[in-house]
Structure 1
Amino acid sequence: MSGKVTQQQINQVLWEAADTFRGKIDSSTYKDYILTMLFIKYLSDAYKEHLEEYTKRYDGDEQRIQRALSRERFVLDEHSTFDYLYSNRNDAEIGQIINKALAHLEDENTAKLRGVFRNIDFNSEAIFGKTKERNAMLRALLEDFNKLTLKPSVVGNEDVIGDAYQFMIERFASDAGKKGGEFYTPTMASELLARLVKPQENDRIYDPTCGSGSLLIKVANQVPSKKVAVYGQERNGATHSLALMNMYLHGIDDAKIEWGDTLSNPLHLEDGKLMKFQAIVANPPFSLDKWAMGFAGEGNTDSKFKMEASLDPHRRFEWGVPPASRGDMAFVQHMLYSLAENGRMATILPHGVLFRGSSEAKIRKQIIDMNLLDAVIGLPEGLFYGTGIPACILVMKKDRKRKDILFIDASGEEHYEKGKNQNKLREQDLAKIVETFENYVTEDKYSYVATLEEIKENDYNLNIPRYVDTFEEEEPVDMSQVKENIKNIKQELAEVEEQMEKYLEELGL
């Protein structure tokens, strides 16, 4: 490719690379390999260009060239570059060669890349099939990527690579149906959460179920200087790897993304206690079944296991243990317990958390009585991958000065754009939600500021229609107009019948 490489061209090559796997492997699996290859290609091309620059600058003086290269963001050597892999594309052991190159790359960059590729196996028979098929697929993958030049001078703005990564993750999410929602929150929903928590410089930002990290990146981007500390945790190994690569491709080199189950094994700790954050955002799995299995201990996988508050060393479930088949409130309690004194959090949840009974009602009452709930926002249906159900956002704050709670119903048809497979929030819809939230006002058929008394009268039920009336009055019926219409219809009918008689007569029937 000559001249600057465009976003379009990169996206095109990536999408073609995906064709190699289509119909052979589930897209929620093969995305890991394509995105990893994009990362490797980018690192390699940057390395190659810098090597050329230093060779020229230091007139071929090996020692000085190597010293300069060792100061780069990432250190590569010949055996971990894309070109090396491409030159071996016909090797019978190509899967193993790629794995070794990735392990080598990790070793050379342990501070940044330790463990990043451990969950991504290019030699997996379970995924790619027997040697012959596997080699054919990997060769095609390397050949597709070889068409792409990602040298910094050609790509220009670094965001291009990050955006290509985002583009692919989003395409895969829409492709992967039910599984898509597990690793990706649609762009505008992420943007909305980011604006609601309004991160400030030097804040610690946290996402306890961070998927591929796109939501965290949106929040970090709210701060112009990007001077924020980014923390996340993700349970799925391959998705955790994608999140780390995603951070690097967006220029966030010091993100702390951990791999493990946030509920039974939270890994962001300070002095053994849960770390505290100023801004927390999340799109946890909706109504996660068996959310507490990680607390069961060895050999306790039978259905008899019952979660109890005492099993959690961090004491997050003292307000109530959520039902075994619905983990929504477990994530909410984890986030509240991780909130700093001046912290704000916004999380996407199914509407059930607003009104379901038993232990969830108990937890809800406690949250409201402790004056932590700031707003309840109803979203349109069909916004999220893998589920058509409408969701809501709960905004919570520590140290709230007011006692009221704001309800916003942004689910009406005029508040989003209908799509073929997926509905979308537009900029104007976002702006309206954020403005209403910041002004904290009642607006007819859209929002309502409820007093604590009203919420108690409703038995702590937060179902939005109880507070925001979006019922449209029908136009009053004009009886004289109706009478006139009936008269006209009768007349037309008489004329048609008369015409009919004539036809039948002519036909002699």
Structure 2
Amino acid sequence: MVQQHQQELKKQLWNIANTLRGNMSADDFRDYILGLIFYKYLSDKLNRYCDNLLVEDGITFVESDDELINELRDECVENLGYFIAPKQLFSSLAKRGDKKEFIIQDLERVLVDIEHSATSADSADDFNGLFEDLDLNSSKLGKNPDARNAKIAQVLTHLENIDFHLENTEIDILGDAYEYLIGQFASGAGKKAGEFYTPQQVSKILAKLVSLAGDVKSVYDPTCGSGSLLLRVARELESSGKQGSHQLEFCGQEQNPSTYNLARMNMLMHGVRYDKFDIKNDDTLEHPMHMDKRFDAVVANPPFSANWSANDLHLNDDRFSDYGKLAPKTKADFAFVLHMIHQLNETGTLAVVVPHGILFRGAAEGHIRTHLIKNKNYLDAVIGLPAGIFFGTSIPTCILVFKKNRINDDNVLFIDASNHFEKGKAQNHLRDSDVDHIIKAYSKRESVEKFAHVAELSEISDNDYNLNIPRYVDTFEEEDAVDLDAVATDLSDIETKMSTVDADIAEFCKQLNIKAPFLAGKE
């Protein structure tokens, strides 16, 4: 029942998005529909919460007088982190919009008031600027105010007619549907939108890798995008029975302001309390916001080969100073890796997606790679992924796993999963069986022909700390041996037959008193 409801909800939401956006790009419309879904979620959640508080009084929230509303305001801000007045509920504005009333100005006021309701509360950072991407006066919505009002009213009406609530499970259902929409917009908008979304199966691998040991109390993503990867770790811990998501502390940082807003919305939509997550908006490499914290699990899919300052001042930074060299200015991959290692606690696990080039490039990257393995001995595994599984890029990628206190500290596991996928038209996909195959190989840590190899540190040293996977996992498939005798016999047969044909043609041409074309120049 739950799964059926969830699938129907996803289908309805995506149909609404495609029907209502008109000529607007999917990337632009994303901010409107996701923002308004979030407003509905906050509204419905608060309405139910207040109705439950008022059961003994025999009235509902919308029937409350001003005095009671003020009392409920304090209760809601303390426990939910925000407040919405009865007349500002989503259902109220949707009804007015359905009656063709002009509601855009009132809606703008509501969204501002929701943010302001948390201004003096502990939840202030999590609600500040949440709706700033919803420009209700943008010409993208319509050429004039009436056209824009009609468009917004349509969206509200459609959303109001969807049953988002299923007893005791509405958070997961709506949160997952919201995450589904983020993924749909990412795949529809290509590379730009793909920057804030990691394909679900890749997220699952990363989450499983950092969750295997259990006892994860904190998780961190320095390039958290929409926050889906953080939530995937919680889901993995929960589904494996190791712990509930309510026990987790979520921390992340995201440079893009719009995506940062999505991440905070995504957290709240999945029922994460405002005091259990700390998402910051800034450049992680230049302005890290969680330097005083260390985490049990660190996961990330940083932008591949991004630019960064590589300023020499970073050589005095605790994150990079021990390595003697900085990641190149045009390839920040190792800068992200070293940042994440710095944030990892002594017993935690780090899993990060990186481009293949990081495994074998020389110069500063070769120096850092050698130091990480030879002097630090932090690298635990290298997992090669198929090409074409990320939105907007076909470059081959891999997952690096790091631990500061490794059980298997005399070897590194190499897994080549590059040929294990389902081919798609625009994008390749990892199947559940592919994910399970990778995790099983990592857990067993045994050499498997053409798939996995346990490399002694001496072997890596002999390869001059080049981690290119084909050096360790031989996936070459020999072609069937050629029978030269059989080929010679076939050629002899062909020559015999051709001679017979030539003779027949020559005889035919003689009868016609013409010269056979293949005899030209031979007489």
TM-score bracket for the superposition, by shorter chain length: 0.7 to 0.9
Letter matched to residue 439 of structure 1:
K
Partner of 1:380: 386
User: Does residue 76 of the first structure (1) align with residue 98 of the second (2)?
Assistant: no
Q: What is the match of residue 448 of structure 1?
A: 453
Q: 1:379 to 1:81 in 2, by over 3 A?
A: same
Q: Give 1:465's match in structure 2, choosing from 470, 475, 494.
A: 470
Instruction: Evaluate the alpha carbon distance shift between residue 477 and residue 54 of structure 1 in structure 2; reply closer, same or farther with a 3 A threshold.
Output: same
% identical aligned pairs: 39
Give the Cα–Cα distance (whole angstroms) in 2 for the partners of residues 490 and 389 of structure 1. Answer: 48
Aligned residue for 1:238, secondary structure, equals helix
How far apart in 2 are the matches of 1:102 and 1:259?
Answer: 20
* Structure 1 range deviating more: 65-74 or 96-105: 65-74
Tell me the residue number matched to 2:115. 106
Letter in 2 for 1:397: K
Name the residue aligned to 2:519.
none
User: What is the identity, as a one-letter code, of the residue corresponding to 2:301?
Assistant: N
* Contact 1:212–1:243 (8 Å) recurs in 2: yes
Aligned to 2:252: 232
Per the TM alignment, residue 183 of structure 1 is displaced from its structure 2 partner at its CA by: 0.6
| Aligned pairs, number | 485
**Matched residue, 1:346:** 351
**What is the rounded CA distance, in whole Å, between the counterparts of 2:499 and 2:107 in structure 1?**
84
Match of 2:59 in 1: 60
1:296 aligned partner: none
Q: Deviations over 1:79-121 (max 9, x none)?
A: 4321233245355561x43232112112334544421515323
**1:118-151 deviation per Cα after TM superposition (whole angstroms, max 9, x unaligned):** 5323235375465345334323322332332323
Select which of 409, 417, 420 maps to 1:410.
417
* Cα distance, 1:169 vs structure 2: 0.9
Cα RMSD (Å) of the superposition?
A: 3.3
In the TM superposition, what is the alpha-carbon distance from 1:258 to its structure 2 partner? Answer: 1.3
Structure 2 vs 1, CA of residues 482 and 144 (structure 1 numbering), >3 Å: closer, same or farther? Answer: same
Residue in 2 that maps onto 1:119: 132
Q: Secondary structure at the match of 2:330?
A: coil
Question: Which protein has the larger Cα radius of gyration, Structure 1 or Structure 2?
Answer: 2
Farther-moved stretch of structure 1 (47-56 vs 451-460) = 47-56
How many angstroms does 1:494 deviate by?
Answer: 7.4
Distance in 1 of aligned mates of 2:457 and 2:15: 56
Change (3 A) 1:507 1:197: farther
1:360 equivalent among 360, 365, 376: 365
1:277 to 286, 292, 295: 295
SS of residue matched to 1:341: strand
Q: Deviations over 1:372-401 (max 9, x none)?
A: 111111100011011011101110100124
Report the Cα distance in structure 2 between the residues aligned to 1:16 and 1:508, rounded to whole angstroms.
Answer: 77
Report the CA distance between 1:166 and its aligned residue: 1.5
Q: Distance in 2 between matches of 1:372 and 1:187?
A: 27
Unpaired runs of 5+ residues, structure 1, are: 293-305
How does the TM-score come out when normalised to structure 2?
0.83
| Aligned position for 2:272 | 252
1:159-200 deviation line (CA, Å, top 9, x unaligned): 211121121111111111111321100010000011111263
Match of 1:203 among 217, 230, 244: 217
Contact 2:31 2:134 in 1 (8 A): no
Q: Which residue in the other structure is 1:297 paired with?
A: none
More moved, 75-84 vs 171-180: 75-84
Residue 215 of structure 1 deviates from its aligned partner by: 0.7
8 Å CA contact retained: 1:51, 1:65: no
Q: Which AA in structure 1 matches 2:385?
A: L
Match of 2:158 among 144, 155, 177: 144
- How far is 1:265 from its partner? 1.1
Residue in 1 that maps onto 2:434: 429
Instruction: Using the TM superposition, name which of 114-123 and 50-59 deviates more.
Output: 50-59
Q: Any conservation in 2 of the 1:447–1:468 contact (CA below 8 Å)?
A: yes
User: Does the residue aligned with 1:223 lie in a helix, a strand or coil?
Assistant: helix
**CA deviation vs aligned residue, 1:354-388 (integer Å, no higher than 9, x gap):** 11122111111111121011111110001101101
